[in-house]
Structure 1
Amino acid sequence: MILIEPFLLLLAIVCIPLTTASFKKLRAWLLGSALINLLVALVQKPLIDAGKLSVGQYTPQDAIQGVFYLSGAGGYVSCSVSIAVALYYFLNAKTVSIWMRVFWLLAAFYQMLISDSKQVLVVFVVAWVLLSFTKIHNFGKVLMYFIGIVIFLLGFYWAVENLDIPGLDGFKLWFSRTDLYGPDGEAVNLKLAGIRIILSYYKSPLNWLLGLGPGHTVSRLGGWFFRDYWDLLAPLGATTHPVSMESWNVVNASWLALSSSMFMPLFSWVGIWGDLGFLGLGAYLYLGYILWSRLAKDDFSRLLILTMFVFGLIFTQMEEAGQTLTVAFLIGLQWQERQIARQARERSLHLNADANSSLEFT
């Protein structure tokens, strides 16, 4: 269910015909929910600074989690939702003032800074670059995307180097630690630790096809759910595997893993492969292919899919319901909007044809 629920939600959205009024209500509900999440996150900042709001086991920055308050990866999820919906609003609310749309986008960017969610920006930029590669057949679009990416990166680099804005200094720190990212760098070795541990427990060729079992490696289920809800799941017959504990031992022994989740050896793509093998991974990728080729016909929808792909390489956000269901919702809205526009065109053509027939008869 963790892996399949966004596909089920999207299936429900596209299978239910929506009138224009129903579509607007659905869109307003999503925008309202996302706006509440953004506003709650922005309010949490002064309350935490004033000591009026508890941060639990988190740092003051990590505790800025919007409506996902104190819920594990809530900071990243909340920020990702804010940026995704802000982009949707910026691109689609054409009847709203450009300044209002830009303000929402800047507010989401500000949430990223105050919550120290640097990886979210990295993910969206990488997804943007990957999206440009899908336009290789359209030179005009490739050039437009390339120019936009270069301008953004140059502007962002200048801001990091020259502006004293809280949150930007973290980018400078990680950019300067080039020693971490070589083939034998600590970041690479730590990131691949989960794969090495999983392979050490492969005892049969079937493991390559079927994995070690659901929740037995470094997925959201094995890495977190079984650990946090074991009292509830054990009576139901749940089983664990040493891979999960050994992976956490690596994390807890590494200053780098504890400093940033960017380098965590527990992340979704390895978790899917480790739990379900290449057959399970292939089935999941096939669902993604159907989504990409049949439903995600616009650049924004494909950008969202690519962000989830990149998130899955970093952490387990590809299995976070708050984020995956929001992405599914946005892709479903894009699909429904195209359907409504197509139906409107067909009605217009039909009326024009009827009118022409009436004139000919007369």
Structure 2
Amino acid sequence: MADPRFYEYRGPLTIEEIVRLSSCEAPPSVQLAEVVRDVASLDAASAEHLSYCERPTYRAALANTQARAVFVSAALRPAVPDGTIALVTRMPQFAFCLVASALYPDAANMIVGDRGQLSAISKSARLGPDACVMPGAFIGPDVEIGARSVIGPNAVLGRGVRIGQDCRIGASATIICALIGDHVTIKPGARVGCDGFGFTPSPSGLTKVPQLGRVIIQDHVEIGANSCIDRGALGDTVIGEGTKIDNLVQIAHNVSVGRYSIFASQVGISGSARIGDQVVLGGKVGVADHMQIGHKSQVAAKAGVSHSLPGGEAYGGYPARPIRQWRREVASLSRLAKRRKFDDEREP
């Protein structure tokens, strides 16, 4: 279930309500009064969950899911395991979004405080000893701020956010749907926990995919000015202990970053990427979705990671490859270009 500190739950739903909401086709033998309590990904679902499978590439995950019901296309219906209800639709992800939005209607328009909150600091917020909230900051309901932490001017902490001890939250930073460890620095203008960039085709165009996860930031992390870390779609976005993130970095939903990694300015990491421990990403490195970068990798500036990297060495270029190989290729192209120029000049 989505963290109740951040999301208001409106479930459960019966199979009959799900069929009516999504216009899907249920098996004739299904018990329409059966209840589904929540949504989850195929691999995380249990017997009370609804999930979906959009692409044949996830057929193996579909075959092993423990979900009670799953939205699938007609082509994938044979892969649904015994004990799981196959709900057939032409647009499985869109149908899933409709149900998720019914269970968590506020997820698409996250409200940082209570609608009736008039004061800058909610009455239900809890501040530790010597914690400091600067003028103009907004502290939502049930926020916890640890001892000696400082919240800068005009910063916004949404409902349920937890800030550890000895943290520094910069001016005009925004933190929602997030749990922050101790000794964390978040510089001015950073955005932590905003909804990820997720849309799916629908009969009317594009529909927003509800983002129901959190951001988990472990101890001794630093996040640069105007960097953005999106919350997870169904799971969490995690930033490991001791990681340092420069200004203007984008980290998408469901990304996992290991411990003591360093990201230079304008790095962009797409959704569900997995970054190991002690990884260094140079400026403007781009990482494609679902890629994995192994421990102790070093990726040169402006490289593009379009396939997973095993780690333990330096990489460069596009697509990123071992940096010695990339340098040899660049040198070979340079020599080839010079030879062609020399041949052209010799022609009468």
Please give the TM-score of this superposition, normalised by the length of structure 1.
0.28
Q: How high is the TM-score relative to the length of structure 2?
A: 0.28
Structure having greater relative contact order (Cα 8 Å, sep ≥ 6):
1
